[in-house]
Amino acid sequence: MMKPTSMLLEANFDINQIGETLEWSFSRKDGAGNPLKGRYAGSIYFTVGEEVHIRVRAGGYEKFESFKVLDCTLITRPQIVSIVPGSLATYAKPSPFDGTVGACVEVDPAQFGSAHGAESEQDGRKYHTIARKWKNHLTVAETTGRWEIAFVLTVEITRQSGEQQQRVFVFDPEGEVGAGINPPIFCDQDDGVACQNMPEGEVGVGLPT
């Protein structure tokens, strides 16, 4: 069994972006959490017992004072894990995380730490960033399954002029815990229905544990 490790969810936004989509990444030191190549590129792999941390980073070519997290929600939508003719489909539990009852995990905004600023050079211009990390973490439960994962973030941006602006940002990648690759689909050979794996765009993929 793979030793439980630590996963970092990083959500980035630009203070002047027009769209609502966050730039996101899930990363581990071992590099196995968010594969970039192969059939399952772009999916997220969790391992049982893993600690999931969250960091939010704001950036802009325009220098700004800071930002505050007003609310932060991680939403897990259970997917089918098996289908047997004549029976109801089997779904994953509402959440892969310990201590959660439903599909919505409310991340306490008061638990985001102090702001840490930095500057970098991009396209010959200075790009200013400020990051805040959640002081707590989620723990992946002793369960397996597939989930569509969404992340909703409301922030308050304070510009150098003192003007404050509230924005909502989102992303919705997919994730899975456990050893499964695709939900097993059983059918009779004579029923005229082709037995196929579910498409990658609709289900997550698993990491052997």
pLDDT digits (tens, 9 = 90+) for 34-87: 667 776 566 777 888 889 999 999 999 999 999 999 999 999 988 888 888 888
Residues found in the chain: 209
Mean pLDDT of 138-153: 88
Confidence band (pLDDT; 50, 70, 90) for 201? very low
Backbone angles phi, psi at 111, to 5 degrees: -95, 10
**Cα 149 from chain centroid (whole Å):** 6
- Provide the b/e sequence for 93-108 (b: ≥16 CB within 10 Å): bbbbbeebeebebebe
DSSP string, 119-134: EEEETTEEEEEEEEEB
Beta strands 104-107 and 64-78, pairing class: antiparallel
Within 10 Å of residue 27's Cβ, how many Cβ atoms?
Answer: 14
The residue type at 207: L
Q: Sign (positive/negative) of CA torsion 172, 177, 181, 182?
A: negative
